[in-house]
Chains A and B, each alone.
Chain A
Amino acid sequence: MMDQTVSLERDSLILIHAPTGRDARLLQELFQNASLRSHVCLSVDDLCREVERGVGTIFIAEEALAPSAIESISAVLQKQGAWSDLPLLVLTVGGEPTQAIRERLARLEPLGELTLLERPLRSDTLVSAARTAIRARTRQYEVRRRDAELQLVTDNVPVLISYIDRAQIYRRVNQTYSEWFGRTTEEIVGRTIQDVIGEPHYTNAQAHISQALDGERVSFESQLWDKSGLLRDVSVSYAPDIALDGTVRGFISLVQDITERKRAERALRATSDRLQFLGELGEVTRALTAPEGVMTIVARMTAEHLKASGCFYADVESDMDTLTVQVNYSAEGSGGVVGAYRLSSFCPGFTADIRQGETTVIRGAGREQEAEEGSGLFHALGVEALVCCPLVRDGKLTALMAVTQMAPRDWTVAEVELFETVVDRSWAYIERARAQSELRKSEQQFRTLADTIPNLAWMAYAGGEIFWYNQRWYDYTGTTPDVVEGWGWQRVHHPDSLPSVLEGWKHSISNGTPFEMVFPLKGSDGSFRLFLTRVAPVCDNFGTVVRWFGTNTDIDEQKRTEDALRRANGDLEEFAYVASHDLQEPLRMVNVYTQLLLRRLGSEVTPQLSEYAGYVSTGVRRMESLIRDLLTYSRTAHDDDEEMSGSADLSVALRHAIASVDARVQETRAQITFDSLPVVSGDEGQMSHVFQNLLSNALKYCKNEETPRIHVGAEHSNRDWVVSIRDNGIGFSQDHAERIFGLFKRLHRDEDYPGTGLGLAICKRIIERYHGRIWAESKVGVGSTFYFALPDGNHG
Chain B
Amino acid sequence: MDKALHILLIEDNPGDAGLVREALREHNIPFEMALASDGAEAESYLSRMGKTIDAPCPDLILLDLNLPKVGGHEVLASFRAHPLCTLTPVIVLTSSNAPRDRELAIAMGAARYFRKPSDLPDFLRLGSVIREVATEAGIAFGGSAFERGKSAPAFAEQEMARGNSPGFRTGVRMVGPCTGLRTSGNPEG
**A: which residues have CB within 8 A of B?**
581, 584-585, 587-589, 591-593, 595-596, 599, 620, 624
Contact = CB atoms under 8 A, between A and B. Distances in A.
Interface stretch (B30-38, B48-56, B114-122, B160-168): B114-122
B120 A584 contact: no
A620 B117 CA distance: 13
Nearest to A599: B120
Contacts of B19: 592, 596
Given A585-B13, A587-B118, A592 B95 contact: no
A315 B30 CA distance: 116
Nearest to B19: A592
Contact of B118 (A581, A588, A596): A588
A620 B22 CA distance: 22
A602 to B, nearest CB: 14
Nearest to B118: A588
Interface of B: 13, 15-16, 19, 22, 95-96, 116-121, 123
Nearest to B95: A585
A464 to B, nearest CB: 53
Contacts of A581: 95-96
Nearest to A600: B22
Nearest to B96: A581
Given A585-B13, A589-B15, A595 B120 contact: yes
A593 B13 CA distance: 13
B94 to A, nearest CB: 11
Nearest to B123: A592
Which of A585, A587, A592, A620 has most chain B Cβ within 10 Å?
A592
B95 A584 contact: yes
Given A581-B96, A588-B95, A588-B116, 16 more contacts: A581-B95, A584-B118, A588-B117, A589-B13, A589-B16, A591-B118, A591-B120, A592-B15, A592-B19, A592-B118, A592-B119, A592-B123, A595-B119, A595-B120, A595-B121, A624-B118
Contacts of B16: 589
Nearest to A591: B118
A581 B116 CA distance: 13
A507 B95 CA distance: 58
A650 B72 CA distance: 41
Given A592-B19, A593-B15, A596-B22, A620 B95 contact: no
Consensus secondary structure, chain A interface = helix
Contacts of A592: 15, 19, 118-120, 123
17 contacts: A581-B95, A584-B95, A585-B13, A585-B95, A588-B95, A588-B116, A588-B117, A589-B15, A589-B16, A591-B118, A591-B119, A592-B15, A592-B123, A595-B120, A595-B121, A596-B22, A596-B120
Contacts of A587: 118
Contacts of A588: 95, 116-118
A372 B123 CA distance: 121
Nearest to B97: A581
A574 to B, nearest CB: 13
A581 B97 CA distance: 10
A637 B45 CA distance: 43
Nearest to B22: A596
A595 B95 CA distance: 19
Contacts of B95: 581, 584-585, 588
B37 to A, nearest CB: 15
Contacts of A584: 95, 118
A269 B121 CA distance: 115
Contacts of B22: 596
A589 B96 CA distance: 15
A588 B188 CA distance: 14
A592 B125 CA distance: 13
Nearest to B15: A589
A587 B117 CA distance: 11
Nearest to A596: B120
A595 B118 CA distance: 10
A581 B95 CA distance: 8
A620 B120 CA distance: 13
Top 3 A-B pairs, shortest CB-CB distance: A595-B120, A588-B118, A589-B15
A584 B118 CA distance: 9
A163 to B, nearest CB: 120
